[in-house]
Every structure is written in C-alpha cells, then in structure tokens.
A and B are shown apart, each in its own frame.
Chain A
C-alpha cells in the first residue's frame, strides 16, 4: 500500500495535469449540457406532446456505448476529429438526458394548486417560471446535474481514446504496459472526483429542498 502511495507521489505532477484536463472536459461539457438541457426541459413542459419523442431520443443516445459514440464522432466535420472537442461533444450528449429529464419532471412535479394560484393571482408566464417553478423544482434539477457530472467523470476516462487527454491517458497507458499502478493512478483520482462532486451537489440539493419545501 505504501508502495502505491509513493508511486502516486512520484507521479504527482503528471496525475495533477491529467486531472486538470479531465476536469476541463467534464466542466465544459456539463456547462453546455446545462445551458441546452434546462431551457429545453422547460420548453418541453410547455409542449408535453413533444416530451416523449425528445426524451426518447436523448434516451437512445444514452444507450450508445461510449467508445462507439466517440468513434462515430471522429469523422464528423466541426463536431468530430481527434482531440478534446470530440470528447466534449460526446459528453454533452450523455449529460443531456439526465438534465433534460429531471428538469422536465421537476417542473411537472410542482404542486398544480400552487401553480394555479400563482397564475390566478396574476403572475405572468415568466414570473410563474422564475418565482414558482424554478425554485420549487431546483432540487430535482440539481439531481439531474449531479447524475450528469458523475456519469461524465466516468465516461471522460474514455476520451483519451480520441486523444482528448484526461485521466484516461494514464489508464490506457497502464493497460498497454500491463502496469496496475499506472491504471490506478488514473482510476483512483477519477473515482475520488466522482465521489467529491456527488457529495457536493448532493449537499446543495438537500440544502435547497429544505428551503423549497
């Protein structure tokens, strides 16, 4: 065990650099997925007829094995190619479903009596959204973002396969050289990141649901 620790210590600058790359992939893709997924999820609540096909489509994307999705993207112009851009596009696609679905169901789960009285008292559509629906669905929406981030941290390790960097680089190199310590040097920080983000967002979620109830 102390062997592993000193091995990690020797490679700390390399591990830190790949962790940084990893975080950039995850943060950029999550931000983009939030920017697309939340407004789209809200729009779906206004046109429930579209909800099923759109959520279905996002669900299908989710079922594509990640390695295959990275592969599909490589030949595409603008989106694909070798490097972080392809990885970010793939990660956005994966992160979209949980964010979209939780935004949609979060807003739909707001007590209809509360919405009705807000509208009946004379709130505009925008006030209804920002004063009532957004705050009351925030814990559920945050839950979607949390799932998206945790999933992205895992999938981003595969991004190394398309030359996007990240902690996957260490894992792939470890596999190629049959070096378990190198694999762990990529896997352990990725797992820690996932646990950390999960805990942080879970805390925010619980805090807000106390306020919103």
Chain B
C-alpha cells in the first residue's frame, strides 16, 4: 500500500498531513513514529477510509481507496485499536468472527476459524470462547483484538497503538508474540506507536513523522545509525 503526496486538514487549522508520501511493501511491518499531533493516527485512518484525504492518493493493492466502496474495503483490511475495541455484549468467539460474519461465512466455517485464531493468540478455545470482554485481562483483550483483525486473512493490517494500554510485562509478552505471528503470516502491517523501542523491536522499517511529513524512512538500524537530522537523532536515542 502507499500514500502519494497526501494532504489532510481538519476544519480550518493547519494541515495534519501535508505532502505525506510513504509505501509499505507486502509482507512488511512498517511503524509510524513521531510526536503527538504529527499525523500518525490520521494517516492510518485514511487507509480504511474512516476519513478521506483532501488531496493526494492512498492506494491499497494498487487501487486508489477513494474509488472503492468503503465497507468492502474495510473488510479486506485488518484493524486493531488500543484496548481492542471489542464489542462488550458479545463473547470472544463472536467478537473474533465479526468480519467472517459480515462476509457471510457459514457457521461451521466461522467456528473452525475462531478455533484456529484463538489457538494462534494462545487463548484456549474452550476456556475463552464463551467469555465476555470484561472477563478478560487487558493483554487477553488485546490478543482477541489482534485475532479479530486477522480473522478473514486480510493482506494488510492496521494497528493503532495496539499494545499501548498494557503494563510493561504484558506488553513485552505481546511484542514477542507479534514477532512470531509476523513470521508465520507474512502480512503487511502498518502500525502507529508512541513507544520508540517498540517500533524498533517490531518493525522492518520505521517512518519518522513530524508536522504531517515523513522525515525519514528506514530500517531501525539505519535510523539509529544515520539519523536524517537532529530531531530524528533525539527521537531515536536509546
């Protein structure tokens, strides 16, 4: 997927994104980092058309998202937000299979998929499938959120501060698991985080944002070894 010279402003303020250009290759994990207000979350929400760009293009699998029907587009893109955003009145199994349900999969296929997904995120199906989100810990909710995003096997997954609400231990554990999912699944992932060590640990490439522009893109090593300017140097300092 890629952003081409995207511009977005809300109301009459300064643009949140301006001349924003970035591409994510298939199978690649890209982290967006930068100070708050630098446009990270806005960029993410442009991809699944929760908001629309004022100018420029956002392309997913080679097609301009503005020419696509938003509901269908979203069902082909995984989406994880902080705390999981689980539906509190549905049990874990139903939450995990929302997208398959939207796509009209038959019940047996949904059940089989829920079993696979929960096994992948290390939540034993028999124990966890009937639970409500409020009966889970923060880390377990987040796992369900990740499983839900992967349910219909989308080629691209968007994650907005996916591990942001967790305590350091749970966060560390989930990061480890993320790395193993990444190896197994080979999906393109675009994720936003304010935690720089997390970005460096999880991402293949990191994009540093400031005031709505990408200042530098590169592997964690490139960013750490040859920062583009003082701002990046300061940000990437261990």
Residues of A within 8 A of B (CB): 111, 113-114, 116-124, 127, 131-132, 135-136, 211-213
Contacts and interface: CB of A to CB of B under 8 A. Distances in A.
Interface residues of B, number: 25
B119 interface: no
Contact of B89 (A117, A119, A122, A212): A212
B86 A120 contact: no
Contacts of A114: 85-88
Given A114-B88, A213-B88, A119 B83 contact: no
B134 A213 contact: yes
Given A116-B81, A213-B134, A121 B148 contact: yes
Interface of B: 48, 50, 71-75, 79, 81-89, 98-99, 102, 134, 145, 148-149, 158
A122 B99 contact: yes
B50 A122 contact: no
Contact of A122 (B75, B81, B85, B87): B75
B48 A135 contact: no
A88 B227 CA distance: 74
A133 to B, nearest CB: 11
Contacts of B87: 114, 118, 131-132
A119 B79 CA distance: 10
Nearest to A211: B89
5 contacts: A116-B85, A121-B74, A121-B149, A136-B89, A211-B89
Contacts of A121: 74-75, 79, 98-99, 102, 148-149
A124 B158 CA distance: 19
Contacts of B89: 135-136, 211-213
A205 to B, nearest CB: 15
